[in-house]
Structure 1
């Protein structure tokens, strides 16, 4: 406890808060679409948010504390998008079985160590290029949001530029405050409609349907692995954290199995929000950034307990503010990984192919572009080595 208190910093705590804010606000609508497809009623939807919040909170808090690194977990946004289009013919109980099956597969690949061995085969420049491809649209969103809400986003951007000159460690904090002030002075901002309630968990016993388990559960596992876990590991490796990822994947699998009956459809390593908690803006000392992971865990658990109240709160914030905040918070990470990806002559062309494939958003067989970026970049590297 004394070490945690001595390592505590405002910038790390705020980084954890920003990660939770962006994590919830950027994709909670997709989660509700998945819940609708599964046949969830309003009480079950609140249960989903509570299960997801408590699961992400517990894994972020305890894994960050144990490994002394900012281990950030998240729900699978691509997985939710897959479920939203794939569960229309399934009953709610059959959907729960699909979630549990995907969790068991994640547990197996973690316990056997297969995921660790897979990640050792991927060179750091290629992993960094893939990460930049994943984050690229978040940086671009700063300027697309500028067109939609010019005064709000311009104020946040100027706050970032000036704070980087004066108080670089607290740049993201100042940007968040600037955004909140701009939202509060807007006359149409209305906080009175936010319900003040605590959510409750709703247990549903799974019903096993083999065709659904293979047809939806297996793609859910693959999408989560390729779109979330691989970029999540790339963030950790790019920040020089050598945590044993197979153990972490095992814990996300266990969390999915345990919380699936309540609506916890898929837990995995985060990429976008993890980058916020592992950069220099979080803390200059990498050894003290684990506080951001623990803080994110606390905020996730509070968000889960609040349930409908948190969903209502996030709905008040303009989409332009969330998009700009995410992009600005990730600028340092995008720049650092661009340098790491393209600094070496040996890896420049494989890294470029990886980046272009990932940022294209191309998808084959339902598998996301982050996976194909790694594959195509590695293929280019192998061909180059054969030629030599």
Structure 2
């Protein structure tokens, strides 16, 4: 009598895991590719990076869900990829970016080992962290509209599809826009090359340039912790699960250190997509929803071989179309970050300054605006707290 409900719950969990992986991959891989190319990766290196993060986050989902019997979903750092997309090529080139990835991984491991460090990061005012992310995202989110002015025939179908699906089926808005972008690329894009579409890892020795370490490594760590890991814990707890943060940080840190030279820039606990695997859509039996996490991981691993194909297609796309898909994929994140940055009246001025500095493109001593935005916001916050009342 109990077999049928159990089987039904399992099938719902499997379906939820598949949806989680497909939505997670298709809605933001364009952001990942844009970010890797922005910091100096060539086409092969970007494909390698996309492949290794797909595998490591997939294996993370499988291992953590099985060990903890919790629907744990691991994802690439979309805020981190957006941070990379808004950065310039480091002075040390792609090797410098790779060094920053490794440093971020070491910081994840350090956070897992030293509990107070994670608590300190969690104490960064939400307004400051959100403002930094919103400022970085602003330049990416306006790209679809700049591209629309340059090539309306290519970009308009993507934006219209996104808007219609946003109204009718929000979850599939970005994947739908991506599908239409694929049609546009097939019609108006450059011919695909004749090279192999099988994934191949490209290895680059890290260059630990101190400026890049601060500009990218530290910023990547902070934006991933505040924008993904900490919210990811909150999402799981909202469904009654205890998030295995230390285990997740250990996995993310070790994976990033080991695969950073192959382009593995950062993975973390999933935040938004985590709700698909941990919520009621994964079945009524909460004790069986871990199956959704395992299934999500399997699908991510199966999607990894597509990295070369999607990178090749992206390279053949008309100017602006991949940036447009990345931009609409980040609009929701931008909206929530901007709202969080300015909604707290006690931190509003500091949040506004942080946002403006991050969006300004200010670069000093070779260090990116994301870092200086945190510094500026912190200075304003401390100054206002010290003012005479």
TM-score with structure 2 length normalisation? 0.71
Q: Is the 8 A contact 1:50 1:304 kept in 2?
A: yes
Shift, 1:159, TM fit: 1.9
Alignment correspondent of 1:353: 353
Alignment correspondent of 1:164: 166
Alignment correspondent of 1:121: 123
Q: Give the Cα–Cα distance (whole angstroms) in 1 for the partners of residues 141 and 292 of structure 2.
A: 22
Alignment correspondent of 1:228: 220
Query: Which residues in structure 2 correspond to 1:51-66 (within 5 Å)?
Result: 51=52, 53-59=54-60, 62=63
Unaligned runs of 5+ in 1: 37-41, 207-211
1:258-311 Cα distance to aligned partner (Å, 9 max, x none): 346xx335542479xx677469xx799598699998787556644654564453
1:17 is aligned to 2:25: yes
3-state SS of the aligned residue for 2:323? helix
1:175 is aligned to 2:177: yes
Q: Give the Cα–Cα distance (whole angstroms) in 2 for the partners of residues 119 and 96 of structure 1.
A: 23
Q: Give the Cα–Cα distance (whole angstroms) in 2 for the partners of residues 99 and 234 of structure 1.
A: 17
Alignment correspondent of 1:383: 383
Alignment correspondent of 2:339: 339
Alignment correspondent of 1:155: 157
Q: Give the Cα–Cα distance (whole angstroms) in 2 for the partners of residues 275 and 323 of structure 1.
A: 23
Shift, 1:356, TM fit: 1.0
Shift, 1:70, TM fit: 4.7
Q: Is the 8 A contact 1:229 1:269 kept in 2?
A: no
Alignment RMSD (CA, Å): 4.5
Q: Give the Cα–Cα distance (whole angstroms) in 2 for the partners of residues 122 and 286 of structure 1.
A: 32
Shift, 1:328, TM fit: 1.5
Q: Give the Cα–Cα distance (whole angstroms) in 2 for the partners of residues 27 and 95 of structure 1.
A: 11
- Paired positions, count: 361
Q: Which moved more, 1:132-141 or 1:79-88?
A: 79-88
Q: Give the Cα–Cα distance (whole angstroms) in 2 for the partners of residues 270 and 144 of structure 1.
A: 31
1:182-223 Cα distance to aligned partner (Å, 9 max, x none): 33333x5534x353453455889x8xxxxx97x53x555544
Alignment correspondent of 1:71: 74
TM-score with structure 1 length normalisation? 0.71
Unaligned runs of 5+ in 2: 1-5, 238-242, 283-288
3-state SS of the aligned residue for 1:72? strand
CA pair 70-148 structure 1, distance change in 2 beyond 3 A: farther
1:322-365 Cα distance to aligned partner (Å, 9 max, x none): 21112212222222222222123222111101111221233445
Q: Give the Cα–Cα distance (whole angstroms) in 2 for the partners of residues 317 and 27 of structure 1.
A: 16
Q: Give the Cα–Cα distance (whole angstroms) in 2 for the partners of residues 120 and 95 of structure 1.
A: 25
Q: Which moved more, 1:285-294 or 1:64-73?
A: 285-294
3-state SS of the aligned residue for 1:318? coil
3-state SS of the aligned residue for 2:175? helix
Query: Which residues in structure 2 correspond to 1:1-388 (within 5 Å)?
Result: 5-7=11-13, 8-9=15-16, 12-19=20-27, 21-30=29-38, 33=40, 51=52, 53-59=54-60, 62=63, 68=71, 70-74=73-77, 85-86=91-92, 103-104=105-106, 106-113=108-115, 115-186=117-188, 188-191=189-192, 193-199=193-199, 216=209, 219=211, 221-236=213-228, 237=230, 240-241=234-235, 243=243, 247-259=247-259, 263-264=261-262, 267-269=265-267, 277=273, 301-302=301-302, 304-305=304-305, 308-387=308-387, 388=389
